[in-house]
Amino acid sequence: MKPTSFLRALGALTLCLFCLPLLAQEGEGQMRNIPPKDTTVDQVIQRFAAKEKEFKIAREQYTWTQSVKVQTLEGSTVDGEYQQVFDVVFDDRGRRIQLIKFAPQNTLTRIQMTQEDLDDIEKRMPFTMTIDDLPFYDVHYLGQQQEDELNCYVFDIGPKRIEKSQRYFEGRIWVDDHDFQIVKTYGKNVPDLGKAKRGNENLFPRFTTWREQIDGKYWFPTYTKVDDFLHFSMGDVHIRQVVRYENYKRFASKTRILYEGQEIGGPEDNKTAPEDKKK
């Protein structure tokens, strides 16, 4: 997100370095510094990364409804809002498209939604860590932690290096010790972009994404929440953001999707997301 032209004119200070405090969140138990049971850390990483690739391929065969709300706050008062609701569907040629259902006037005045923000909402807030991504990330095992009713392996991850024009996730993931799938992520998309001295900062917030099991097999992102301050050179801007992913349905295609010799998904994978209880 960029500050508006009015804010950019207020002056430039040294841009704060990225800082990612990992605070305890609702539903989290105590972190236990113990190794995985009956397996190694490397085996857990390989197993969940392979499962994540399978899930990523399967999700491409689903439709859903996605809603986005971004607000800026002055104290406790909302002083600007961007909102959009759209269906992620397929056209008659089987190509994925977005059909806008609701898009009121954008009233944000202190920040601008950039293309990188929209790309993050679409592609990186519902983060997947697949076997193809592993070579680009450092993955550090922290221990085990209860996340609501699930026992999870917890990892901190971040890019080994940042290549030009590439975006990455940096933060923490919780992996269910039964299904070996990511059930929650907390962090931010990096790097921040632009130069403070040029008044062209493009900063990105910390977010939490929760998943729920939709089809009895895969854990799908259903809710993303942001409540953060963007530290622009002209001053901090408090933003709040909610993304909901609802009404997952498997696209009725006759094409069989195979991964490692097995079919991904099936006719039974046609269930809708449960009502989100996170407010």
Judged against a pLDDT cut of 90, whether residue 248 lies above it is answered with yes
Judged against a pLDDT cut of 50, whether residue 267 lies above it is answered with no
Answer yes or no: are the C-beta atoms of 180 and 198 closer than 8 Å: no
Looking at residue 24, its pLDDT comes to 55
- Mean pLDDT value across residues 188-217: 89
Domain boundaries, given as residue ranges, for the chain = 2-16+61-131+186-263
The Cα–Cα gap between 275 and 247 comes to 9
Looking at residue 119, its pLDDT comes to 94
Q: What is the pLDDT of residues 115-160, one digit of tens each?
A: 999 999 999 999 999 999 999 999 999 999 999 999 999 999 999 9
The Cα–Cα gap between 69 and 135 comes to 34
The percentage of the chain sitting over the pLDDT mark of 90, rounded to a whole number, equals: 73
Judged against a pLDDT cut of 70, whether residue 233 lies above it is answered with yes
Q: Which pair of tokens denotes residue 261?
A: 């010799």
Which is more confident, 140 or 10? 140
Q: Which residue has the tokens 């005045």?
A: 109
> pLDDT grade, residue 13 (50/70/90)?
very low
Judged against a pLDDT cut of 90, whether residue 17 lies above it is answered with no
Looking at residue 200, its pLDDT comes to 81
Residue 200's Cα: distance from chain center in Å? 24
Which is more confident, 203 or 262? 203
Look over the chain and give the mean of its residue pLDDT values, rounded to a whole number: 86
Q: What is the pLDDT of residues 55-91, one digit of tens each?
A: 999 999 999 999 999 999 999 999 999 999 999 999 9
Q: Which residues of 194-227 are buried (b: 16+ CB within 10 A; e: fewer)?
A: bebeebebbbbbbbbbbbbbbbebbbbbbbbbbe
Q: Provide the terminal-to-terminal Cα distance of the chain, rounded to the nearest Å.
A: 24
> pLDDT grade, residue 258 (50/70/90)?
very low
Q: Which residue has the tokens 């996730």?
A: 169
Phi, psi of 15, deg, nearest 5: -70, 130
